[in-house]
Amino acid sequence: MKKYSVFAVAREAMRHHTGWTRAWRDAQPKKRYDAIIIGAGGHGLATAYYLGKNFGITNVAILEKGWLGGGNTGRNTTIIRSNYLQDPSAAIYEKSRSLYETMSQDLNYNVMFSPRGVIMLAQTEHEVRGYKRTAHANALQGVTTEWITPARVKELCPIMNIDGPRYPVLGGLWQARGGTARHDAVAWGYARACSDMGMDVIQKCEVTGIRAEGGKVVGVSTNRGDIDCDKLGMVVAGHSGHLADMAGFRLPVESVALQALVSEPIKPCMDIVVMANTVHGYMSQSDKGEMVIGGGTDGYNNYTQRGSFHHIEETVRALVETFPMISRLKMLRQWGGIVDVTGDRSPILSKTPVDGIFINCGWGTGGFKAIPGSGWAMAELMAKGRSPLTDAFGMERFREGRFIDESVAAGVAH
């Protein structure tokens, strides 16, 4: 693999960039792998990457029915934060956030992680208490967050209207090392690194069946033939239920549409990420200058990657109220993704009823920020059979009544 650097770019410029090679090989499936990961989104690629990097398992294929990074990895609003309330969430999201800090250097690929800071606004007394609680928990969890006053909110984000009239800002939970990254680059960087370790990233390869013998997985069937494996990781977000069905088990998961939108690009006016859960909207400004905006999910099962317009209306209305200056900006594009939501809205990283099959799903609306941590933990789970980061996220928790409920502090949001 050719190392990327300013010097490499300069060298290539001299020969009109004719010397660049493929970022990842165009691999053909082999007969057998030590491990197969289904789904070449961020989580799947990260899982493969850490299988190789942390456990030396490199005879790995990552199968993708479409194009890599084409699901929610490439459709989200790129927010990265770890100011979660519950211990298991804070642990995995903070692991993830810390991996983002050095990801560009680890992967030799600029994923543009920008720790610009994230504020979660408190606009009701209930939220004030919830975020103060989170700040206390975070301090003990090793997550650096801070409860800040309305004046400080205004200082960090001058374009915000903190005076209401309906929901004046009462303060906020500030995570200075939260931020954003370039979503596509995360998938591409991992794919390039996996390929470099000798792994096969195989696009347009759809899994059509899962083969098990005596309760143990032996391989998968695909539109490009049968492929054998010892271990199988299912990392396909909204399509998890479908795959689980093939493997003969059910999941506590439903798939719904989540929408987002961007404005036309303008010059920099907002350096941080703001999330306003009471009014259901969040916004940041991309490096291109677009205001990147997201809101809530549709209430019904949906695989169309389209959502209902009234959610867009609600979100935009809330944000015009919070940031009056966006009123005359124009929405450039809206889109939808399919998110998989579990019974407690926290993810599942788990063994399954089939020996050798592991599942990683249920990230709901918050998957992007978790990519490296999720991959790190999932790789450990697959390699060693358990991980302290995944212990609490087993799918048996629903049977036990042991939930990881994050909505208690913050409502539901990214």
Partner 1 sequence: MSTRLANGGRLLNTDRPLNFTFNGKQMRGYAGDTLASALLANGQMMVGRSFKYHRPRGLVASGAEEPNGLVNLGSEGKFEPNARVTTTELFEGLKAESQNHWPSLEFDVGAINAKLSRFLPAGFYYKMFMYPQAAWKHVYEPIIRKSAGLGKAPQARDDDTYEHFYAFCDVLVIGGGVAGLTAARTAARAGAQVMLVEQTEHWGGRAPVDGGSIDGKPVDNFVEEILSELKSLDNVQLRTRTMGAGVYDHGYVTCYERLRDHAPDTPGPRHRLWRVRAAHVVTATGALERPLSFAGNDIPGVMLASAMRDYVVNYGVSTGDRTVVVTNNDNAYLTAISLKHAGLDVPAILDTRALPQDSELVAQARALGIRILMGHAISSVKGTKRVTGVAICSQAGEGAVLEEIPCDAVAMSGGWSPVVHLWSHCGGKLVWNAEKACFSPDVDNPPKGADGMGFVTTAGSASGVFALDDVLCDAHAAGDGVATTLDFKLPKGDSAPKATRREEAPLMPVWMMPQGASVKLREKAWLDYQNDVKVSDVRLAAQEGFVSVEHTKRYTTLGMATDQGKLSNINGLATLAGALDTDIPSVGTTTFRPPYHPIAMAAIGGEARGDVFQPIRRTPLHNWHEANGAEFEPVGQWRRPYAFKRAGESTHDAVMREVKNTREKLGLLDASTLGKLLVKGPDAGRFLDMLYTNMMSTLKPGKCRYGLMCSENGFLIDDGVVARIDEDTWLCHTTTGGADSIHAHMEEWLQTEWWDWKVHVANLTEQYAQVAVVGPNARTALENLGGMDVSREALGFMEWTDGTLGGFPVRVYRISFSGELSYEIAVEASHGQAFWDALMAVGADLGVMPYGTECLHILRAEKGFIMIGDETDGTVIPQDLGLHWALSKKKDDYLGKRAQARSHMADPNRWKLVGLETVDGSTLPDGAYAVGAGTNENGQRNMIGRVTSTYHSPTLDRGIAMGLVLHGPDRMGEVIDFPGTDGKTYQARIVDPVFYDKEGEKQNV
Partner 2 sequence: MLNIHCPNCGVTAEETEFHAHGEAHLTRFGPGASDDDFESYLFMRANPKGVHFERWRHQNGCGKWFHMARCTMTLEIFGTYSAQTTEPPQDILDRIRARRPDWNPHP
Enumerate binding residues for partner 2 (CB under 8 A): 239, 241-242, 250-255, 298-304, 308-310, 342-343, 398-399
Note whether 397 binds partner 1 by CB under 8 A.
yes
Contact with partner 1 (CB under 8 A): which of 149, 223, 301, 327? 327
285 vs 352 by CB, closer to partner 1 = 285
Question: Any idea of the CA torsion for 83, 86, 89, 94, to the nearest 10 degrees?
Answer: 40
Largest distance between two CA atoms of the chain: 64
Q: Please answer whether residues 382 and 234 qualify as being in contact, where contact means their C-beta atoms are separated by less than 8 angstroms.
A: no
Of these partners, partner 2, partner 1, none, which one is at the site of residue 159 (CB under 5 to 8 Å by kind)? partner 1
Contact with partner 1 (CB under 8 A): which of 54, 59, 98, 108? 108
Of these partners, partner 2, partner 1, none, which one is at the site of residue 43 (CB under 5 to 8 Å by kind)? none
Note whether 313 binds partner 1 by CB under 8 A.
yes
161 vs 221 by CB, closer to partner 1 = 161
- Residue 356's region, left for phi above 0, alpha for psi from -120 to 50, else beta, is left
Note whether 328 binds partner 1 by CB under 8 A.
yes
Helix axes 87-101, 371-384, angle to 10 degrees: 110
Of these partners, partner 2, partner 1, none, which one is at the site of residue 188 (CB under 5 to 8 Å by kind)? partner 1
360 DSSP β-pair partners: 349
Note whether 303 binds partner 1 by CB under 8 A.
no
38 DSSP β-pair partners: 63, 234
Distance in Å, CB of 303 to partner 2, minimum? 5
Of these partners, partner 2, partner 1, none, which one is at the site of residue 44 (CB under 5 to 8 Å by kind)? none
d(CA 216, CA 354): 6
Note whether 308 binds partner 1 by CB under 8 A.
yes
Of these partners, partner 1, partner 2, none, which one is at the site of residue 102 (CB under 5 to 8 Å by kind)? partner 1
Distance in Å, CB of 217 to partner 1, minimum? 28
Note whether 408 binds partner 1 by CB under 8 A.
yes
Note whether 350 binds partner 1 by CB under 8 A.
no
Instruction: Give the number of residues written for the chain.
Output: 414
How many alpha carbons fall within 13 Å on the CB side of residue 200?
Answer: 20
33 vs 113 by CB, closer to partner 1 = 113
Residues 6+ positions from 313 with CB-CB distance below 8 Å = none
Q: Is 339 exposed, middle or buried (0-12, 13-18, 19+ CB in 10 A)?
A: buried
Contact with partner 1 (CB under 8 A): which of 196, 321, 340, 380? 321
9 vs 151 by CB, closer to partner 1 = 9
Residues 6+ positions from 339 with CB-CB distance below 8 Å = 72, 237, 238, 255, 256, 257, 258, 297, 363, 364, 365, 367
d(CA 114, CA 126): 30
59 vs 144 by CB, closer to partner 1 = 144
Of these partners, partner 2, partner 1, none, which one is at the site of residue 241 (CB under 5 to 8 Å by kind)? partner 2
122 DSSP β-pair partners: 171
Note whether 224 binds partner 1 by CB under 8 A.
no
Of these partners, partner 2, partner 1, none, which one is at the site of residue 301 (CB under 5 to 8 Å by kind)? partner 2
